[in-house]
Every structure is written in C-alpha cells, then in structure tokens.
Amino acid sequence: MAAVVDFLDLRAAAPFVVAALAFYFLVEQLSYHRKKGPLPGPPLVVPFVGSVAHMIRDPTGFWDAQAARARKSGAGLAADFLIGRFVVFIRDSELSHRVFANVRPDAFHLIGHPFGKKLFGDHNLIYMFGEDHKDLRRRIAPNFTPRALSTYAAIQQRVILSHLRRWLDRSAANGGKAEPIRVPCRDMNLETSQTVFAGPYLTKEAREKFERDYNFFNVGLMALPVDLPGFAFRSARLGVARLVRTLGECARASKARMRAGGEPECLVDFWMQETVREIDEAKAAGKPPPAHTDDEELGGFLFDFLFAAQDASTSSLCWAVSALDSHPDVLAGVRAEVASLWSPESGEPITAEKIAEMKYTQAVAREVVRHRPPATLVPHIAGEEFQLTEWYTIPKGTIVFPSVYESSFQGFPEPDTFDPERFFSEARREDVVYKRNFLAFGAGPHQCVGQRYALNHLVLFMALFVSVVDFRRDRTEGCDEPVYMPTIVPRDSCTVYLKQRCAKFPSF
C-alpha cells in the first residue's frame, strides 16, 4: 500500500518537476540571449552544459566554428555557453589587445584555463595584478639575462642531443620505420625543463614522480572539471599540488646553496641568488621576508614556468619538423647557416654568440610560432562589466577567449603561407610592421617573460636536428591538420623517418 501511495505522490509531483525544469530552461535561455546581445552564437543552448560536449569531442572543430562565426558576422566576436558560463570568442587582434592591456581587478583576470584557478592552485603568476605582479616580474628578471640564457643553452643542447641519440637508436632498431615524435618531443622537453629550471635539485626518483604527475596534469587539462575521486580533473589537481611541493623543495635547496656562495647552475639558482640577499637584508633589519619568497609559493611560480615551457615547446618542435620537411629550400637555408657557424664534429656546444648569429634560423623559429602558435587561446574572465566596443559590453563573469591563432593570420601578406623571409628580410620586417598581430607570446602586463628562452630552445633544436639527422615525413592525408593535445600539434603527431646524418655524433 505504501508503494502505491509513493507512486501516486510521484505522479502528482511530476507536473511541478516538469514545470520547474521548463522554467529553468527558459530563464537560462533568456539570460544567455541578454548577455549575447548582437553577437553571433547558437540560438539555443543545452541547459547547464552548453556546447562543452562539442568542445571536448572535437576542440579543433569547435574553435574553428567560433572563428567562422566571428569572421562571417564582421564583428570579430562570437558567443557561446560552456558548463553554466557565458563565453565570448575574440578573433579581432585589436580587441584582443584591449583584453591583454586591461588585466586588473576591475576588468579582466587572466586564468590560463577555463577552470585554471582550481587546477593550478593559489600561488600562481597568472592570477596576479598591479604592483604585486610587477614586483614579482622584477624578481624573475635575473632568470632571463644573457648570462642565464647562455647557461641554459649548454644544458638544452646536452638534453636535446641525448634524446636525438635515443630517437636514432630506436629508429635503427625498428628497421628505419617511421615513428611519431610528439611524445618523444614532450619527453625531451620535460627533461629539458626539469634540468634547466631545477637542475641538480631533482633526484632520479623525484623526476620519475614528476613525469607521472605531469601526465595527470596534461590529461586533466582536456577533461571535464569534475573534482571527485576517480575523475581525471581531480587526479590533475592533486598532481599539481605534489609538483608544487617538489619544486618548493628545490627552491629551498637552492636558497641554501646560493647563500653558501655557490655559482648558479639553473634557473632557480639565478632567481634565488638575488632572493636570498633580499631575505637576509630584511632579516638583518628586523623586517619580515619580502613578498613571494616562501618556498611553496616559489614552487607554484616554478610550475608556471614549467607549464608555459612544456607543451608549447612540444607543439613548436613538431611544427618546425613538419615545416622544414615541407619546404626543402628553408631546410637547406637552415642547414647552410648552421654549418657555417658550428659542426657536429667540433666537440663543443653552440655558444650564445653563435645562436645570436643564426639570423635565418631565428626567422624560421618566429615563423613557426606565427604560423602555428601553440597556445591558440588565452582565456580571461571578466571581473566586472567591460565595454569592449562602442556597441558591446562584456558582462561580468564572462569567460573571454582572445585567439592568438586567428591574429596570426591577420595583416600579414599571404598569411597561410609558411614564409620565414617575412622576419628575415630587412626590406619586409613584418615582425615590426605587423607586430600587433604577432600575439603568440601574449601582450600587455602578462606578456610571456620567457619568450627569449622559448625561441632559443626552438632555434637550438632545429640547429641540432638538421645537423645530425636526415629525416622525412610519412605524409598522409590530413596529417598536418591541427589537433589539441592540449596545445596544437599535427594530427599524425608528426610521424617521420629518421637516420643519422653526421659522421660523428656530437659529444660534449
């Protein structure tokens, strides 16, 4: 009898439940259309989840559709809805500059990822503003001086060559079979970043744990933001917390070594050398330690560098190999320039002075980054309403996606063509003429502080790769279509045939 009563109660309640759901659906649609205003976007959105299924299933197609809407409308903007959040896609370069230039508490907050604050943790350079942010960037400046970059260059080359040796040995063992290099590039970059940033402070065991946790992080970046046990997002968040603690321990060890008068061997050493001096001066004066010098906080900032360097570089290295294979004249130009300055048989690394002389190879690196900017979007959230144009105001709470990828194809002559001469020719100087469209490293107060390091890494990889390796892409239909992993890479993960080119493999 009780079961019958319960069933009748459910039947009686059903109309009210349906009415409540219909009301929720109506309110959500009205809210979406009020925020969307004149922007192009889907006429109806799926309650709460919006277009997130499309974004996760086919991120390339999803963002291409946003760009097509923005382009077709002529507004340079498009609207959509993702997991309860209204979003605006920005294609127009000047509107993107307006966002980058207005990162402050009462305008836009850089978030790095739609759910980045929860994923990355509290101690993060990404989320800082104003004088606090300027002060931290001042402290970071010693990390990227010519002396520091020269120290990193020697480390980078040793790691790159050790991995190229492995690639060639594996290729020979497999009978010269073509293999994708995206994951090998990623592994190489992870070791490079660990060694450049934390140097002697990461043990072999710590590096193994580091790689496991970074894999959790990578998977979590592309997963639904479900912070529950068993979900990829939770594993990523916990993995980041462990990574930050490990890097904080590296900062603590570096402080002790720099205080004892040691010479800098890695990025954290260059950073801590000045930091310990300021800490000691404050202590002697009876003052508290300077801001942003706590070990775990420093670990969070070091993780920022790792995140910025890791997948972006993996993307650029893959696209560089693809571009060099597709353009034999460019490959010949790079090989000739490198050969005029350095030989694999020299037994010496490429010096900072020689890197500076590789003008053509540097132009190729810049064109790789322009043609395929690795981090295609730079998400921000509107902390307050912001009038972006004369006719449209971004509502508070909106997630805004300036597209640096779309900017790269605006202004430049024949933008779809891979053409390093645009950055090499003194007559063209497109890096100057179209500077406002070259946004791969961002702009404004949060412009990438490590862009010189990133470009040096790409230049060094190309210089070493073309000198010691003969390679050929295993080209298949659609192999160079960009896919998100989470930065963009060739669809086939850049599958290549490899064999040794030089008579004697470099050793130094």
Q: Which position has the token pair 């003008």?
A: 359
Binding residues for heme: 448
What is the 8-class DSSP label of residue 382? E
Quickly tell me which residue has 């004066």 as its tokens.
Answer: 285
Helix (H) or strand (E) holding 488: strand 488-490
- Which of 204, 205, 202, 193 is CA-nearest to residue 163? 193
First to last CA, the chain: 86
Torsion of the alpha carbons at 86, 91, 94 and 100, rounded to the nearest 10: 50
- What is the DSSP secondary-structure string of 71-88? HHHSSSEEEEEETTEEEE
Report how far residue 480's alpha carbon sits from residue 491's, in angstroms, rounded to the nearest whole number: 6
The amino acid that residue 491 corresponds to is R
* HEC-encoded secondary structure of 420-482: CHHHHCCCCCHHHHCHHHCCCCCCHHHCCCCHHHHHHHHHHHHHHHHHHEEEEECCCCCCCCE
Would you give the distance in Å from CA 259 to the centre of its chain?
33
DSSP element (H, E) containing 108: strand 108-110
For residue 378, which amino acid is it? Answer: V
**Torsion over CA of 382, 388, 390 and 395, rounded to 10 degrees?**
-20
Quote the Cα angle for 397-109-436, to 5°: 115
Q: What whole-number distance in Å separates Cα of residue 503 and Cα of residue 370?
A: 34
Q: Report the C-alpha gap between 102 and 386 in whole angstroms.
A: 10
How far is Cα 298 from Cα 121, in angstroms, rounded to an integer? 12
β-bridge pairing 495-500 and 77-82: unpaired
Annotated binding site: 448
